Every structure is written in C-alpha cells, then in structure tokens.
Amino acid sequence: MAEEKTDGVRKTAGTPRALDALDRKILGALSRDATLSYAAIGQDVGLSAPAVHERVKRLRASGTIEATVARLDGAAVGKPLLAFIHVDTEGWGVTTGLLALQEMPELEEVHSSAGDTNLILKVRVASPKALEGLLARIYEVGCVRATRTYTVLSTHLDRPVQAGTTQNLAEGGPVK
Amino acid sequence: MAEEKTDGVRKTAGTPRALDALDRKILGALSRDATLSYAAIGQDVGLSAPAVHERVKRLRASGTIEATVARLDGAAVGKPLLAFIHVDTEGWGVTTGLLALQEMPELEEVHSSAGDTNLILKVRVASPKALEGLLARIYEVGCVRATRTYTVLSTHLDRPVQAGTTQNLAEGGPVK
DNA sequence: TATGAAAATGAGAAATA
DNA sequence: TATTTCTCATTTTCATA
C-alpha cells in the first residue's frame, strides 16, 4: 500500500491565473492532438512558435495541462466492455477498501456522488465474466449495500475536457 | 496531415493484431506520459529507440493508440462541476437531437446503455446554473421522458484506458 | 536566431518460424 | 530459407535559450 500512485489523481497545484482567448485556443488544439508542433499551433492562433511554447510551459506549470497522454482504444487492448457501476455504501468508511480497488486496471474512474448513490465507477473489462468478477471484488470490500450496473452498448462521444465554453461556441444559442 | 478528425469518436480501423507484453508495457508508459522519449521507453522495456518507434508507429496505424492528447484540469478551464446525467427517452429516435447536443463542449461522453436508462451523459460545467441550462437544452431535444443527475462531489480516480489486465498486473512492475 | 536534442528514415544483421 | 524485427548510422525537424 505504500505505493506512490499518482497516476491520474487531481493535482491542482496551480496558480489561479485567468485564461485568455489565445490560451483557450491553444488548449483546444492540444486537447485534440498534442503531437502538433508549436509552429503549427502558432499559425492557427496567430503567434510565433516560441510564444506558444512560453504559454504552454505556463499552462503545464500551473496544472491546467495535467499531462500529455496517449488515448488507447479499449477494444484493441482487450477490454471491449465499458460499464458504469453505482455503488451504495453504508457510512463513509469506503476509503480503505477503495484504494485496493484502484489497483485494478479495469477501474478508470471513481467519483463520490450526490444523489441516490454514493459512488460512481467507470470500468472497462474484457468480458461479462470479468465484469462479474469485478463486482464480486467490489462486494468483498465490505460496507457495500448494493450495486447497479449500467452496461454501455455503444459510445457516441468520448473526448477529453474541452477548453471552450458554450458562450464562445455558439453566440446565437437560446441560452437563458 | 490533413486528417479526418471526428473529435474523439471511435474509429477502430485497425488490424486485429495481437499485442505482446512489450506492446503493453509501451502502451502503459505512453498512457501515463506521452512526452517520454523513445530512448527512455526503450530503456524501460529493454529495446532500442528506433525499435520502440517502430512499434509505436504500428500501434498508431492500427488504431490501438487513438490519439495523443493533453489532459486538462476541469477546474482550471472554468468547469469545476462534473456530473453524470441519465436520460430516459421514448423510442430510439434520439440520434438527431443528440448530434446537436454534442456541439456543446460541456458534453464529454455520450453512451447508449442497457439497464433502466437509455443514455448516459458525462458533462462538465461552470456552475449549477450552467447545469440547469444544460438540462433545459436536453429536454428541448424532445423524446426525453426523464433525467436523473448525479453530481460529482469529488473524484478519487480518473485515468485513461489502461493497457494492462488484472492478470498481468502482478507480474509487471511499475514502469518508472 | 542559433544550438542541441530527439524524432524519423534507411540499411544491414540476427533471431525465429 | 524466408520473414520479421532489432540495432546502428544518418538526416532532418523541433524544442529551447
């Protein structure tokens, strides 16, 4: 348990510096394709390559850019089955057992939730059988009252955090 | 490259080539940090830099690596509120209105689901008010019978698709 | 703008089937 | 023996001051 798994946990070690329109455009480009050269991004946003580099460095240091990672195809790595699992727990003593679960690469997201459930899990597994095994291990943690599993039939959209907001996207929107 | 970017939608245009242990280690490293040099990865897995490059090129071409992207901090880009929305629809005619919703950068994931709900949405917004506005627009689509919103209080784990499986987790040490 | 490092490409050698 | 895949050497592009 003495492992320093930072892996994907929020850092937020950043300066609360405001982002301007240029920052947002750069972030938008990088969130789509981080292999773009600074020169190419600079052409898009109207900046020189070193200027883009400077901003990206700042965005990295501030934690706005958490990491640059490869997005893998679930099916291609042998995990074609995606599911969300809602877990109802007794009390708040979930933390200990939770850490053990996070060791499993099948788990991608773990959120505490408001609403009629306590915990929302996003998992990706090889087969229904693997899902069954995963559920069994969740109950082994203890303090689990019930689970509800939502198997994903098809994914229509799956993209990273977007830098843009609705306001600067569509001006004519009927947003009240 | 003038690429047909569909903004995160599955392509799976890949060869069904099996991944060996080396591929998985490389994928694991890149899914954590895609800024690593091929030489550094090569040292980890016991390969030369060009050899790693060759495999990565293959993995990209096959679609196993979908993209290399920057992970952004939701709070830092002005969207501190994460929520899952379950949508109950009437019939299956959701497709048309769905496409309009995907234009909104607040939407990150859209899945069809089995279970007692039809659609699972993952959204990230600036405020409760923005969430309210988003819900309103969802109902505007039509065919929406009901929604259930699960607001995320805190995120304990959020990482990309993992290349490993539970079986080979124990054997493979932490690739540092 | 200039420098250094790393990525990309090609040719030869070794291991495997 | 033929095919695949690694290593080595070279060029070119990009990050960084």
Q: Specify if A164 maps to a domain.
A: no
Number of domains in chain B: 2
For residues A53 and A105, membership in a common domain is answered with no
Contact between B69 and A65 using a beta-carbon 8 Å cutoff? no
Say yes or no to pLDDT of A10 above 80: no
More confident residue, B92 or A27: A27
Do A114 and A147 belong to one domain? yes
Task: From chain A, pick out residues whose CB is under 8 angstroms from the CB of B75.
Answer: 12
Do B115 and A148 count as a contact with CB atoms less than 8 A apart? Answer: yes
CA distance B19 to B23: 6
CA B172-A7-A63 angle, 5° bins: 155
pLDDT band, very low/low/confident/very high, at B175 (cuts 50, 70, 90) = very low
In one-letter notation, the amino acid at residue A66 is E
pLDDT-based confidence at residue B167 (cuts at 50, 70, 90):
low
Q: Where are the beta strands (DSSP E) in B13-106?
A: 65-72, 81-89
- Min Cα separation B81/chain A (Å): 12
Q: Are A107 and B157 in contact (CB under 8 A)?
A: yes
Last residue of a domain, one of A12, A34, A62: A62
pTM of the entire predicted model: 0.86
- pLDDT of the residue at B122: 98
Domain holding B80, by residue range, is 75-151
Q: Which residues of B97-121 are buried (b: 16+ CB within 10 A; e: fewer)?
A: bbeebeebbbbbbbbbbebebbbbb
* Residue A170: φ, ψ to 5°: -125, 110
Q: Is the CB of B25 under 7 A from strand D?
A: no
B35 inside domain: yes
Q: Strand A107-113 and strand A81-89: pairing?
A: unpaired
Of residues B96, B98, B97, B122, the one with CA closest to residue B109: B122
Which chain A residues have a beta carbon less than 8 Å from that of B107? 157
B67, part of any domain: no
- pLDDT at residue B18, rounded to an integer: 81
Task: Tell me the range of A65-69, A94-98, B85-89 where mean pLDDT is highest.
Answer: A65-69
B83 and B144, same domain (yes or no): yes
B4 assigned to some structural domain: no
Residues B90 and B31 in one domain: no
Q: Report CA(B138)–C1'(D11) in Å, whole number.
A: 54
Residue whose C-alpha is closest to residue B34's, from A31, A168, A101, A145: A31
What is residue A75's predicted lDDT score, i.e. its pLDDT? 96
CB contact under 8 A, B72 and A161: yes
pLDDT, average across residues A71-80? 96
Residues A84 and A127 in one domain: yes
CATH of the domain at B130: 3.30.70.920
B97 and B140, same domain (yes or no): yes
Q: Which helix (H) or strand (E) holds A107?
A: strand A107-113
User: Are residues B86 and B147 both part of a single domain?
Assistant: yes
pLDDT digits 0-9 by tens, B26-82: 999 999 999 999 999 999 999 999 999 999 999 999 999 999 999 999 999 999 999
Buried b (16+ CB within 10 A) or exposed e, A16-29: eeebeeebbbbbbb
Closest CA-bearing residue to C1' of D9: B50
Tell me the mean pLDDT in the region A13-35: 86
The strand D neighbours among A residues 34-73, by Cβ under 7 Å, are: 37-39, 49-50, 53, 57
Which positions 33-52 of A are in contact with B (Cβ < 8 Å)? 33-35
Residue A86 φ/ψ, nearest 5 degrees: -95, 130
B98 and B146 co-located in one domain: yes
Strand ranges inside B7-165, DSSP E: 65-72, 81-89, 107-113, 119-125, 144-158
Give the DSSP per-residue string, A49-90: HHHHHHHHHHHHHTTSEEEEEEEEPTTTTT--EEEEEEEEES
- The whole-number pLDDT of residue A115 equals 73
pLDDT band at residue A92, thresholds of 50, 70 and 90? low
- Checking if the pLDDT of A91 tops 80, the result is no
**Where does the pLDDT of residue A163 fall: very low under 50, low under 70, confident under 90, or very high at 90 and above?**
very high
